[in-house]
Amino acid sequence: MKRRLLLSVLILVFLAGCNNPQLYLHNVFKSIDLEVRTHSQAYTMLTDICERFGSRMAGTESAEQAEEFVSLLFRSYGFEDVFFQPFTFNQWQRGDVRLRIDTAGTYVDLPALALAFTPSGNVNASIVDAGNGLINDYNDLDVTDKIVLIHLGLLPGTPSNIKNIHRARKLSLAIAQGAAGCIAVSPVPGGLPVTGSATLDGEMIRIPAVSISYEEGEKLRASLSRRDARARIVTTNSCQPAYARNIVARMEGYEYPEETIVVGAHLDTWDISPGALDNASGAVSVLEIARILKALDLKTRRSVEFVLFMAEEEGHYGSELYVREARQRNLLDGIRYMFNHDMTINTYGFNLMGHHESEDFFKKTGALIALTDSAFTDTMEHITYMGSDHAPFLMEGITTFTPLCRYEAFHTYHTNADEPQYINPEMINSNVKASAMMVYALANAPELPASRMSQEQLRTYLIDNQLQEELVISGDWAWD
């Protein structure tokens, strides 16, 4: 009798296993793991894109060639539904820059880079240290007609409850305070000045803004605490209308084709490097995930759209356009998740950006990912920010998330050193593997926890996640 009972229990366990979705998912994950370990093209693709096209600033000839190239790649993987989304935008063009510090008659020229959308200008004024350049840093400060020195990150010793804001929002604060110019200090040590957009509306800002390295910033700040100094900033830059295209590859779902998981990354870079980390790493991750799903012939219940956005750096133009077109075609409710890849290497978990209702799903799926990859620790965080292509989706109430990445080469971010040599195949494959698994899990799950937020839910979400202040500063706060 006991034996028979044991046998029936074993049979039941066996039958349950056959119908166990988690077991099935685990087997799919094992095949993705094998594909990445034996056939990954991600790193070769990364070096290839960087070497072939160099910098891919949206609207340039090299960017246009890169757009063509990736559309052909998608087709070569077996995608039939591949299309461009063209748009025009205001392209900023870098000219010369000079920054000279005058400390009581001693002149020093500092290596500097203009922040994008800095106009041509020639300013000579005294320098005021405005710390982190956040609203409260101006409380007892008169910066009218002065050059403000601001840190682009958060200075050591900043209280942990203080949240950093996008550089463009720091610039609009400085301008609102009456500053005549801005010296912005790189947030990361590494001896290099950084670039990046100083605006969020795609128009020239009113004052010249240049960046210097973290180290030069520390020296200048220390020197200012001892004696006053002046700076002369000379810049020559211009803007012109330009043309770029998103590239979209669509895989139709077999059960809920009107529901979509958007997997996106920007393909464009700044003009000063091939952007290996920012964002060839994200672009090849998206390409490689697309390739793997096709190579393994994985069919999914929902549709997946792989999107390479253009002109992210100059103001999220491509992702704004994607969202605008989806809104016009009434497709926004169908977008269940937007998974953004911006500088994605060494992935060890996911950043769920305050979307707590999705935690369970990600935890369970993450535990299965961890079984195939010991470097993946199934960590979950809720870091919210507006500075990438997920932002236009988030502002429509769509659930957005990103891989959680460990950076060893972060000092190259937005500098002329963003080259492939700082990235290796393991770094990029770790993201491809975990992210491909998550894309499959989301696209094929019988049910998903997330749905689009209502306007009221979105308002609460933005407040709860401390995004209100910066949206107010940039004029994007839709409520009163």
Binding site for Zn ion (CB under 5 A): 278-279, 342
Q: What are the two backbone dihedrals, phi and then psi, of residue 58, each rounded to the nearest 5 degrees?
A: -55, 135
For residue 475, give both structure tokens: 């004029």
Return the number of the residue (342 or 373) whose C-beta is nearest Zn ion.
Answer: 342
C-beta closer to Zn ion: residue 35 or 342: 342
CA-wise closest residue to 150 among 126, 163, 132, 127: 132
Nearer to Zn ion, 119 or 275 (CB): 275
CB of 181 to Zn ion, least distance (A): 26
Could you tell me the smallest distance in angstroms from the CB atom of residue 225 to Zn ion?
Answer: 34
Q: What is the closest distance, in whole angstroms, from the C-beta atom of residue 312 to Zn ion in the complex?
A: 6
SS3 147: strand
Q: Which is nearer to Zn ion, 129 or 342 (CB)?
A: 342
Which residue type occupies 371?
L
Least distance CB 200 / Zn ion (angstroms): 15
Write down the least CB distance from residue 282 to Zn ion, Å: 7
3-state class percentages of the chain: helix first, strand second, coil last, to nearest 5: 40, 25, 40
Listed residue (305, 336, 155, 122) closest to 231, CA to CA: 122
Nearer to Zn ion, 245 or 250 (CB): 245
Closest-CA residue to 317 (of 260, 405, 210, 241): 241
Closer Cβ to Zn ion, 288 or 342, answer by number:
342
**Token pair 């306007």 in the structure block, residue:** 455
**CA within 13 Å, CB half, 70:** 36
**Minimum gap (Å) between residue 351 Cβ and Zn ion:** 15
Q: Report the alpha-carbon distance of residue 81 to residue 101 in Å, rounded.
A: 55
- Let me know: does 267 contact 67? Beta carbons within 8 Å: yes
- C-beta separation of 202 from 235 below 8 A: no
Which one, 278 or 470, has the nearer CB to Zn ion?
Answer: 278
Q: How far is the CB of 127 from Zn ion (least distance, A)?
A: 30
